[in-house]
Structures are given as C-alpha cells and as structure tokens.
Structure 1
Amino acid sequence: MTAVVTETEDTAVVKPRSVTRPVVGFGLIAVVAVVLILTVPPGDARVQLTRGPEALQIPLMTLPATLAVGVPAAIAAVLAVVALVQVLRTRRTVPMWLTVAAGGFLLLAFLVHLVSGKSSVLPLTDLLASTLFLATPLMFGALCGVVCERVGIVNIAIEGQLLGGAFAGAVVASLAGGNPYVGLVAAPIAGVGVGALLAWFSIRYQVNQVITGVVLNVLVLGLTTFFFKGLLTELDGWNDRSRLPALPIPLLSDIPVLGPVLFRQNLLVYLLYAIAITLHVYLFRSRWGLRVRAVGEHPKAADTVGIDVNRTRWRNTLLGSAIAGLGGAFFTIGQGLAFGIDITAGSGFIALAALILGRWTPSGAIVAALFFGFAAALSQSLRSFGVTLDSNIPLMIPYIVTLFAVAGFGGKVRPPAAEGIPYVK
C-alpha cells in the first residue's frame, strides 16, 4: 500500500494516504452524470453556436435531447470513473486537466438539459462571453493572490486593491479628458499603494497579515466613499464614463464560438492573457519562480543559499498588488462605468476562494475564477432558459464546490508552508 512518510525530530512516521475524499468527489460527478442521462425530457434541444459577426456561420442546431445530454454526460461519467480508478490504484492526486474535463462535460450536459424539450435556445457563445466578462476581475484578483501567497504573504487586501484600482482608473481617465488608457496606467499604481501598506506592516513590523488585510479593505472602502461623496459628486468632470475600446484580432476574432469570446476584447483582457501565461511559465520554469517558491515553502533554507527573503516578499507583494489594481480598472473603464461606492461588491473575497480552489497555481486560479464567472452568468440566464429556479441558487454552487475543494474532496489542497509567517533573519 502506498504511504506518505513524514519526519519528526526523533523518527519517521508512516501514514497511509487517504482516498476517501477524492473518491467521494468523483463519485458525485459520476452519479450526477447518470441522473442527467436518466432524467432527459422528451423532445429536442436547441443550441446556438454563433451570434452574427463570425465569418463562418453555424446554423441553429436542433438535436435529440437524449443524444445532446447523454453524450457529454456519459463522457463526464467515464472520466470520473477513470479518475476513481487512478486514485484507488496509485493513491495520488488526480491531474488538474482530468478534473476540469470531467467537470466541463458535466456542465455542458447540465446546460443542454435545461433547454431540452423546450422552445428555449442555449446561446452557448453568449454564455461563454458573459462568463469571461464576469470572471475577468476575479482572475486578476486570483493571480494577485498567487503572486503574493507563493512568497508567504496572505493578501486579504485584494478587495481593497481592486476598489482602489477602480477608483483611480475612473478618476484619472476622467481628468485626462476621458482617455481610458491613462486610467489604465493609474489603476495598478493605486493597487501598489495598498500593497505597500500591506508589505510595510506585515514584513517590517510583523503585524498579523490577515488583520492587516482586513483593516486595509475597510480603509480603502472608507477613503473611496469619502472622496466619492466629497469630490466626485460635487465636481464635474471627475467621474465621467470612459471605456476601453474593443480591439478585435484579425482572423482569430472570426473563429466560431471562441473567436468572439476570446479575441474580440479590449486591451485589459489581452493583458490578462499575457499576465496569466507569463506567471505560469516563470513560476514553474525559471530561476525567479524557484526562488519565489522557496521563500514561500522554506524561507530559512532560501536565506541560507543567499536569497533575500523579505526583499523577495516586498517585490512580490507590490507586483501582485499592481495586478489586482488592473483588475479593479475593469469595473470602471473596462465596462464603461463611472465609479460607485463599493463597486467591487466583494469580488476580492471571491478571488481568494478561486485562489484556494485553484491550488495556488496561475492556471488553477484562472479555471476556478472562470467557474465563478460561469455561475454568475448562468444565474442571469435562467429565465431565458424557461427555468423558474431562484437565480440566487446557482450563485451558491461555486462556494459549495470551494468548501469541498478545501476539504480535499478533489485531491490534496495545501497552501505554501510559510504562508502568513513573518521571517526574522
């Protein structure tokens, strides 16, 4: 039997690796897939893949509901069984791609099931576009958390950094004559300002990082509310609407389904793509990433080989805060909205949940944030699908899944070992 070996000061302790939680998690996926297959209503399912601008138009697809639901549900069940067999035989963590694939096919089967036997149409491209739209600030916030927490800094202040970026982006863009690109430069600077306070108190004075983050969130909310009421509502031209224009990428934006979703976006979304890819490559394929992970896992050992632990924590905190500031700009100049009190509405905390669900990796955080965005987009589309279910119920699904993920039902979830622990040389 495969076992996990952990060492204490005197002897090594051998503990068997538990497979109960991942078995339950993938077992639920398989069971739900079977339930979807058995409960398919009679009739057809209508799916719309294109919405007009694409060069290649795909006509409205009308498929037998049994086939449209049964195929993706069966694939999800098979993948879940494969994952179960792997867990039981090797007692190792299931690869992320297998978990994402099983969940993705299950979601597709669920969506088609919603419109099966009805006159409603499943606008898949519109749903995916809404998912990316609602998930963009969450992805920025989750990537900020990855950068900070990988060096051991718990960044609860993501909410404040998003709010500060939204405020700075809107105000500076308005003062620059409605130029959103100037606001796009100011937003990460505001995020860095909040991050500098977090690093100063957490690293220099070793204040509890969770408490510091909470206080900074309250501080930023209070300041932005004060300036909104005292300046933005009193002075003309300080809070005008300005929006980053869409920049379609030739050829790629004409690809059916994915083209309008991924390649007909503004500069802020393209920056998100670049940041996510760069972080993933540098974090796991470069000397910088090795040092970052060493500081977060074992700062004393990193210091022994010449890595300045606290300087690395300072740099990463400021870098992550700049990323969060960019995400805050999406609430104002990214959507063409003026700044409003608490415009972020707790998105920073949802980004923290995406960070945990994504296992502190850039790719995992992106997938988790997209899942949160999908739940929000689905809740807004239920009525168009002819579903009378309360729209708040789908919004609860990501949080329930997060609880299961943190509990380890999808595999082992462990933060960096030195997270939240101040380092004294």
Structure 2
Amino acid sequence: MTLPASPDSPRPALMPLDDALTQLLGFAVPLTEMESVSTFDADGRVLAQDLVSALQVPPHDNSSMDGYAVRCADVAQALHASGPAAGALTVSQRIAAGAAGLPLAPMSAARIFTGAPIPLGADAVVMQEDCEVLPGAGGPGSSAVRIKSVPAPGQWIRRAGEDVTQGAVVLLKGELLTPASLGLAASIGINVVPVRRRPRVALFSTGDELVMPGDVAPQQMKPGAIYNSNRFFLRALLLRLGCEVTDLGIVPDRLDATVAALQSAALNHDLILSSGGVSVGEEDHIKPAVQSLGQLDLWQIAIKPGKPFAYGRVQNAHFIGLPGNPVSSFVTFLLLVRPFLRQLLGSTQVASKSIAVQAHFTWARADKRREFLRVRRNAHGGLDLFANQSSGVLTSAVWGDGLVDNPPGQTIAFGDEVRFIPFSELLG
C-alpha cells in the first residue's frame, strides 16, 4: 500500500498543459479499423482514405446565368448593322439544364439557362437582363434578341473541370467530413465513404453525493446531494465527436466499486472516461484503482480550472480521469480529451485555433497556473468577462462563447490583446 506523503515532502511540480498534451497525443495511436457509410450519414466522421475523382466537375462548359449563348464575333457584326436589326440575332434554339444543344448556327443566339451546356461554337453568355427580346423578328413563329454590347470571350461560362479535374484528390485521408465536403464527395459520384470506426468510450461519474435528475425532486434532495450535470455534457461532447458511448452511471465512492467499474469498462472500450475522484482526498479512489489494474502516466496539470487530470491505461483501454467540478471537467475535456479523440481517429485537424481579440475587462489576479477564462464577445468586437470564474459555476460556460487562454503569472488590463479560443473551435 502506498503511504501518503508527509506534510514536509515537496509536492511534485504540475505539468504544463502543452507538455501534457504532447504526451497525451503520443499515447493516442490512431485506430486502424474503418467502415463504409452512406455519404448522407458521414457528417462529422473522419475520412479513412483519400477520395479521388473519376470525372471532372463540371463535366462540360456550362452557363452560370440565365441568358443567351452567343458567338462574340456574330454580336460585333450584328452591332455594325443599321436600322432596327442593329445588334439583333435570331434565337435558334433553347437549352435547359440537363439538355444538350446543337452547334450554334451562324448569326444566331441560343436561349440558355443556368447549368445548361454551352453549345459548340458559342464563346460567351449574355445575361438576360442585358438583352432585349424581339418577338417575331426572326420570321413567322420565331424571335430574335438584341445584344446591346459585345461580350468578353468566356463571359458567364463555367469551364469544364474548373472545380475538380479528373484524377484529383478532392478530400484527404484524415479530414473531418463536413456538410460541404459531403457535397463535394457527392459531386464526384461517391455515395459511400470510407471512414474510421467510431471510438468506443465508457463513461462514468464517481461520488456518493451525486443524484440523477428525475430520480429525486429538488425539494426532496438530502443535504450535501447535487445533481449529476457532468454526465450530461460529457456524453453530449463525446457524441459530437462521433464516439459510441456506454454510460456506466454513477460509481460509489469505494475502492472496490471503482476497481470493478474500471475492469468491466476495459473489456470492450477504447477509452474509459470518468469525472470526479481524481484528487488526493480519502474518498478519491481513481488513482489507486487505476494503478492496481494498469498504470498512470499523467497526473495533475498546471491549468486553472482543471488541475486534477489523469491519464493512464487499464488493460488495453486508455483511461482519462477528469475533475469533478463541472467547469473544470468541461474545460479539460475541450483542451485535452477532444484532441486526444481526434488523434485516436487519425484526424489531421487536432489543434484548436486561437485569435487575438481585445479584452474589455481587467484581470488583476495573476495565477501561477495557465488560466482559461470564460468570456463572451460584445457588440464592440471585444471580450466581456463572466463575473464569477469559479470552477463550479457552469452558467459561465453557457453565458460565454469561448475561453481566454491566459499565460501563468499574467494580469490583463482593459484593451490588452488576449488569445481567444471560440467554443465553435472546441465543440465539434
């Protein structure tokens, strides 16, 4: 049995966040299994192979406007005519999208619609707003159109292959599939895409004080009891990242119960994720339970909120332990678990991006740890600070739309530029 350190023993230095993240990503060996899913259902999945186009897009020169396909030289010749026929061309055919037109007859125009193929011989499209229709001018039952000026060659024509060339890699292995990329895949005829299989994650909370909403009415809560909020946002975050989640519920604050939960979860999951019990109190059993079954590689990070953080292995499964305080759990998930899971999926989009934004607040309480402050953009383009930055105030994460990444020992004056990480960068 490991004895607690004496009060006089020096505490080990907390690991900087960047070092912890580097180590964590090193442990996240990408999953090798893949599966094929409908392009309709692949949003948010990670591509397992390059997608190569078997055709060019668009497949042929086509019109980007409703109007008239013409030969520029014919328009110039027509404009030199005198009298009512000046600038007029006979409308020789009508070409809708999905139809193929005939070669363009000399001194004529083809009525054409957006997406329709450009007829052979035409070298420009004149939009209909710049034309004047002359009914019957081309003879009985026909019409003509007056073009007011000579168009530029290539005007309003989308060239074949200008979007995608045949043989081009349109989406790279490791890309996170988005609605736009699914549309691109469909545009080259792909109805099924190869993706990494979903990570299997076992989720549980520890704490005898935890109660599930719906099990006990607010007015019947015992002293010291709290509703389990972490379980709800952690499950939602895991699902957003494309995980298959097994919810193991609330584990009692007992070493034997914690060991049993870890043993069960390790059998058929890639990752075991817990919240609570990762500190060093007498009722915190995660550390000894993990060490009895496997190993701990990371323990406590120099960030605020979120110092109590653990990574290790339980048999063949990864283990990550998050703090019990809701904001600490939320922030450490975004900063550490999210990139870990992206790496596990073989994604090339692991790191989140920060931008420089002016602080419209002051922060005089510099901390020795790297801080992540809950903020919200205001109408003036700056950042407002949530008044209460406690790790237990989950309303700060709802009110805010991102985090200020504040270095250790750093105060912030009104107007300073700070590093802002929008939640939109972290929640998908």
TM-score between both structures, scaled by the size of structure 2 = 0.22
Q: As a proportion of its length, which structure holds more strand?
A: 2
Q: As a proportion of its length, which structure holds more helix?
A: 1
Larger Rg: 2
Q: Which has the higher contact order (CA 8 A, sep 6+)?
A: 1
